A and B are shown apart, each in its own frame.
Chain A
């Protein structure tokens, strides 16, 4: 194992272990998303959803729940001196970006394992669209993990931590949401899943993941210099 890969595994393992022991982020994210579904049920006054409305409710909820986790992503590093330790360690700083993004990806996938079935249970008449939805979820999560890690690492060192993440992240993920809801909309349409422009939207998601993965990887070094 190369030093970088060992460091990656160590940081990712540390994050997942501490999340499993303290349960700081995930339960809150899951609970938040379920409560939001209930609020949408009464806000829209609908008991079943389909098409663009279903896609919008699902993605808005997942995005806001993700913001909760992204807010907390670097809090331990900041408060317990993890940043200093990383700076001292003889490893590439980008490893921290990759490991943190991977941890966030795991959180998001875990969140969706809980929230999406509950969404289907609450609102959907048929579950046929859920299998292809998994692909969209995975691609959107990759992009969200990249941008979320980047923004979170900057916001955590500022005075207005909890404020900055939603403020800066939301406009940044608009293209991601456009593509994700665009692909989800026909999948959840009445009368079975459709695949209108499914491939095109997946390509947009992939492009987003690629660009922000690379940007994050390239600029992350400069956020740790002090």
Chain B
């Protein structure tokens, strides 16, 4: 049932990625100041926005889980956070490449946006050891939801705190009233953002489908009284 709509969603994602990449390379003008390296902006910023929104979405699913007691929402929350952590790795890597090219260092400590993203990333990296240290699956789901809500509240707070200790090295292109971007760049950026967000949704859906399929296989095996090969897996919440 999770597989429903997966194919059109995947096709839409591939099409959106193709369109946005061709816009990035053939349509968007070269940045006068930074040149070609600025094009990583179209990958880096959408990834970062998607990852952060994904963390908050994971927290929202966790609230739904605690309110309804339905384990399905815990699986949604887990997969959202999982995918956002993976996107987070990509954000840190693309950000480092950009920083090296335009600031001359792989890592810049007095830059609030970098540091706050790193802290958020580290916070969510502890989600896994935390989750799998709790054995009872029902309690595991509940505690993981509490973690996801706490960490979701932590994301905006952390950005405030780090920004107070601020410098202004990181370009803040949207800070000015009209957005400091020319129209062609803005269009390309919005396309990339939509493509990356679609990619995130598709991957989340894929993982949920895979989990639900393996859960079904497990239940069928149990019904047939055939033990699963390799024993039970602790990796991840089960989806019915």
Q: For chain B residues 137-163, which have a beta carbon within 8 Å of chain A? A: 139, 142-143, 145-147, 149-151, 153-154, 157-158, 160-162
Q: How far is the CA of A35 from the CA of B70 in the complex (A)?
A: 49
Partner of B130, one of A150, A167, A175: A167
* Contact string against B for A residues 145-189, beta-carbon threshold 8 Å, 1 for contact and 0 otherwise: 001001000110111100110011001101110110010000000
Q: How far is the CA of A176 from the CA of B129 in the complex (A)?
A: 23
Q: CB of B66 within 8 A of chain A? A: yes
Contact status B150-A204, CB under 8 Å: no
Q: How far is the CA of A147 from the CA of B149 in the complex (A)?
A: 13
Contact status B164-A171, CB under 8 Å: no
Q: CB of B135 within 8 A of chain A? A: yes
Partner of B66, one of A150, A212, A219: A219
Number of interface residues, chain B, beta carbon within 8 A: 28
Q: CB of B126 within 8 A of chain A? A: yes
Interface of A is mostly: helix
Q: How far is the CA of A204 from the CA of B157 in the complex (A)?
A: 9
Least CB separation from A177: chain B residue: B161
Contact status B150-A179, CB under 8 Å: no
Q: CB of A222 within 8 A of chain B? A: yes
A-B contact count (CB 8 A): 88
Q: CB of B122 within 8 A of chain A? A: yes
Least CB separation from A167: chain B residue: B126
Contacts of B154 in A (CB 8 A): 172, 175
Most buried by A among B122, B153, B161: B161
A85 smallest CB distance to B (angstroms): 19
Q: CB of A208 within 8 A of chain B? A: yes
Q: How far is the CA of A175 from the CA of B147 in the complex (A)?
A: 17
Least CB separation from B122: chain A residue: A171
Contact status B165-A178, CB under 8 Å: yes
Contacts of B142 in A (CB 8 A): 222-223, 225
Q: CB of B175 within 8 A of chain A? A: no
Contacts of A176 in B (CB 8 A): 161
Contact status A223-B161, CB under 8 Å: no
Number of interface residues, chain A, beta carbon within 8 A: 34
Partner of A178, one of B134, B151, B162: B162
Q: For chain A residues 182-226, which have a beta carbon within 8 Å of chain B? A: 182, 197, 200-201, 204, 207-208, 211-212, 215, 219, 222-223, 225-226
Q: How far is the CA of A141 from the CA of B158 in the complex (A)?
A: 18
Q: CB of B123 within 8 A of chain A? A: yes
* Contact string against B for A residues 53-92, beta-carbon threshold 8 Å, 1 for contact and 0 otherwise: 0000000000000000000000000000000000000000
Contact status A215-B133, CB under 8 Å: no
Q: CB of B119 within 8 A of chain A? A: yes
Contact status A168-B160, CB under 8 Å: no
Contacts of B157 in A (CB 8 A): 175, 207-208, 211
A226 smallest CB distance to B (angstroms): 7
Q: How far is the CA of A211 from the CA of B156 in the complex (A)?
A: 11
Contact status A182-B130, CB under 8 Å: no
Least CB separation from A197: chain B residue: B164
Contact status A204-B160, CB under 8 Å: yes
Least CB separation from A151: chain B residue: B150
Q: How far is the CA of A159 from the CA of B132 in the complex (A)?
A: 9
Contact status B165-A164, CB under 8 Å: no
Contact status B123-A157, CB under 8 Å: no
Contact status A211-B153, CB under 8 Å: yes
Q: How far is the CA of A215 from the CA of B63 in the complex (A)?
A: 12
Contact status A159-B153, CB under 8 Å: no
Contacts of A201 in B (CB 8 A): 164
Least CB separation from B149: chain A residue: A219
Partner of B164, one of A168, A178, A215, A225: A178
A172-B154, A215-B153 known; 19 other A-B pairs, CB under 8 Å?
A154-B130, A158-B134, A160-B129, A164-B130, A164-B133, A171-B123, A197-B164, A204-B160, A207-B157, A207-B160, A211-B153, A211-B157, A212-B150, A212-B153, A215-B150, A219-B149, A222-B142, A223-B142, A223-B143
Closest 4 CB pairs of A and B: A175-B161, A158-B133, A171-B123, A160-B133
16 A-B contacts, Cβ less than 8 Å apart?
A: A150-B146, A154-B146, A157-B143, A160-B133, A171-B122, A174-B158, A175-B161, A175-B162, A178-B165, A179-B164, A207-B157, A211-B157, A215-B150, A219-B149, A223-B146, A226-B139
